[in-house]
């Protein structure tokens, strides 16, 4: 089970409900990215569970597409790092939801 958190930049209008790094559910592994086209934080599936091999099968980096606009202009972001939009401080406000 994974957890998403609410984030808000103290210096600009960036707000998001994302995992804030890397997390794993029963069938997929996710990472948080910033999309420079959408100017949003998004969670992207980076690997799926391969039941035949009993491990996660990683997707190649070129398949990491924004879950909102489906474009490739994404960079990985983690909680505690500066706001990817303005360089300000992104505050973790609390749990948004638990997911699977």
- Closest CA relative to residue 74, chosen from 82, 84, 64, 83: 64
Model pLDDT, residue 18: 97
Percentage of residues of the chain with pLDDT beyond 90: 70
Residue-range definition of the domain harbouring residue 90: 2-99
pLDDT score recorded for residue 97: 72
Find, among 47, 4, 9, the residue nearest to 26 by Cα.
Answer: 47
Residue for token digits 């398949």? 63
Q: Which two tokens stand for residue 90?
A: 């992104």
9-57 pLDDT tens trace: 999 999 999 999 999 988 899 999 999 999 999 999 999 988 888 888 8
- Which contacts of 59-65 are long-range, i.e. CB under 8 A and separated by 24 or more positions? 64/31, 64/33
Q: Is the pLDDT of residue 71 over 80?
A: yes
Domain count, the chain: 1
Average pLDDT over the chain reads 92
Residue with tokens 């960036």, as numbered in its chain? 14
């Amino acid at each position: 089970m994974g957890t998403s958190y609410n984030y808000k930049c103290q210096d600009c209008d960036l707000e998001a409900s994302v995992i804030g790094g890397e997390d794993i559910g029963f069938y997929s592994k996710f990472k948080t990215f910033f999309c420079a086209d959408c100017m949003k934080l998004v969670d992207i599936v980076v690997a799926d569970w391969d039941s035949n091999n009993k491990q996660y099968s990683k997707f190649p980096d070129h398949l990491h597409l924004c879950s909102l606009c489906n474009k490739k202009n994404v960079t990985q972001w983690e909680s505690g790092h500066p706001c990817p939009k303005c360089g300000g401080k992104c505050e973790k406000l609390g749990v948004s939801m638990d997911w699977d």
